[in-house]
Structure 1
Amino acid sequence: MALKDDLTDAVDGILGTAFEERDGKKIPTSSDVALSNGAVKLKAAFLYADLAGSGLIAKLCPWDTTAKIIRAYLDCSVRIIRAHGGEIRSFDGDRVMGVFIGSTMRTDAVKSAMKIQWGTENLIQKKAKAQFTSVKNNDVKIRQACGIDVGISRAVRAGIRNNNDLIWIGRPPSFAAKLSDNREYPYCTFISAATYDKMMDEAKLSKGVNMWEQRSMKFAGMDEIIYRSKYEWTP
């Protein structure tokens, strides 16, 4: 069969699919969702951790130094997310997505984000500057941002047999990814109002002081209330 015919049949089949949706009791893996028509509905908090300026780091530093910095960032992010009960469901270059469920999912995600900022500032930046001449001589600033939103999403599988992965449909993962694109250092954690309004006070207050500033930003053509913080959380 010619590739054109193969593509036509595939698109017709996908667009004509009737999904079999079920409620998720846990964060699904790819094998939990049928490739042909499965969909898992899940209420969850989504955290995107995104290393800023990796293109500039790659320009100023040798490739292996850049690789070590990105690996260190992703390693710290994954360890922190998992330590707070989150599951990793996506890597995209220098960005990672964590998913949290349960009654404390907002607080767990926010603590993770603040600890990722601590790790970036106090471990990766300091140690990379001390170890790599290219980082020190070029005054390379290793920055990052985390975005968090919470709500209902659906997990489905996309791709073909032996070449597929989960994709997440809905506002929360998309908005969390958009929030992580903010570059407003020293503000490095950005959360939605849905996250802020129902998270525990321990993630809102530090010694009685609110750690968050209310802002607004555009998302999907709408003005959204968001909150930003410059606080870190020592693991």
Structure 2
Amino acid sequence: MSVADDIKKNSADTFGTKWTVRDGQVVPDASDLKLTNDAVSFDKATVLYADLDQSTDLVETKKWQFSGEVYKTFLYAASRLIRNHRGKIVSYDGDRVMGIFVSKSQRNDAVSCALKINYAVKNYVQAEKEKHWTGDYKIRHVIGIDTSEIRAARTGVRGDNDLVWIGPAANLAAKLTSLSADKATWITKRVYDGLNDPQKLDSQEKNIWRQWEWNEHKDEEIYSSTYWRKFT
């Protein structure tokens, strides 16, 4: 069978087959799903994207060794904290990592994670960079968080496949990372409305979030924060 025949057959099978859907309790691995129209459904899941800011400029203007170390240390910090907050890492895409949270406190878990990533980048990663490299380069990042109904399906070819996450949160969390890195954390109103005081207020009980209209997406109400949460 030719490549063209393979593609035609896959399209016919996919568009012509009903989906098998089951409720999810934990974030699945790719091996938990079939390559056919098989999906795991979550009534609500929260997606966190952590994205290294200005990475194109970084790799175009700095030594590759330096760029590699920035990539590695940023992604390690973000990934370690995602796991520490009961999230599951579901993909790496160059300079970004995507985590999924499905616990009952998922919105608070994801936001707490984001605030600690902000602290880690500015106080641990940046500090170690300055010990080993000269120059005034500042590691900057943007985190986007949204929550919605989500379904996971397996895509790709046999021997080379992964999960795709189907739902607004997966797309919108990623789009939020295109906003200003001057505010490291961006969340939708859906996330904000589910936050408890520790994720909303600072030690003086002042709100750490600023409200915006997201002009790039239907003037949706979103929130940003420059706040970080210290941890050791």
5 Å matches for 1:63-82? 63-82=64-83
Could you say which residue in structure 1 is the equivalent of 2:178?
A: 181
Percent of counterpart pairs with the same letter?
38
CA–CA separation in structure 2 for the residues paired with 1:142 and 1:183? 14
> Does 2:13 correspond to 1:13?
yes
CA–CA separation in structure 1 for the residues paired with 2:100 and 2:168? 14
Could you say which residue in structure 2 is the equivalent of 1:146?
A: 143
Could you say which residue in structure 2 is the equivalent of 1:205?
A: 201
* 1:229 maps to amino acid: S
What is the Cα-based RMSD across aligned positions, in Å? 1.3
Could you say which residue in structure 2 is the equivalent of 1:215?
A: 212
Q: 1:147–1:176: 8 Å Cα contact kept in structure 2? A: yes
CA–CA separation in structure 1 for the residues paired with 2:101 and 2:3? 40
* Structure 1 residue 104 displacement after superposition: 1.0
* Structure 1 residue 102 displacement after superposition: 1.8
Deviation per residue, 1:132-153 (Å, 9 max, x gap): 23xx1xx322100101011111
Could you say which residue in structure 2 is the equivalent of 1:47?
A: 48
What SS class does the counterpart of residue 198 from structure 1 fall into? coil
Q: 1:57–1:140: 8 Å Cα contact kept in structure 2? A: no
| 5+ residue gaps, structure 2 | none
* Structure 1 residue 94 displacement after superposition: 0.7
Could you say which residue in structure 2 is the equivalent of 1:164?
A: 161
The farther-off stretch of 91-100 and 33-42 is 33-42
* Structure 1 residue 58 displacement after superposition: 1.2
TM-score by structure 2 length? 0.94
CA–CA separation in structure 2 for the residues paired with 1:17 and 1:181? 36
Could you say which residue in structure 2 is the equivalent of 1:97?
A: 98
Aligned residues: 229
Could you say which residue in structure 1 is the equivalent of 2:186?
A: 190
CA–CA separation in structure 2 for the residues paired with 1:52 and 1:17? 41
Q: 1:84–1:112: 8 Å Cα contact kept in structure 2? A: yes
Deviation per residue, 1:147-188 (Å, 9 max, x gap): 101111100011011110000001011111111221241x11
Q: 2:53–2:181: 8 Å Cα contact kept in structure 1? A: no
Could you say which residue in structure 1 is the equivalent of 2:121?
A: 120
CA–CA separation in structure 2 for the residues paired with 1:194 and 1:82? 22
> Does 2:22 correspond to 1:25?
no
TM-score by structure 1 length? 0.93
| 5+ residue gaps, structure 1 | none
* Structure 1 residue 229 displacement after superposition: 0.3
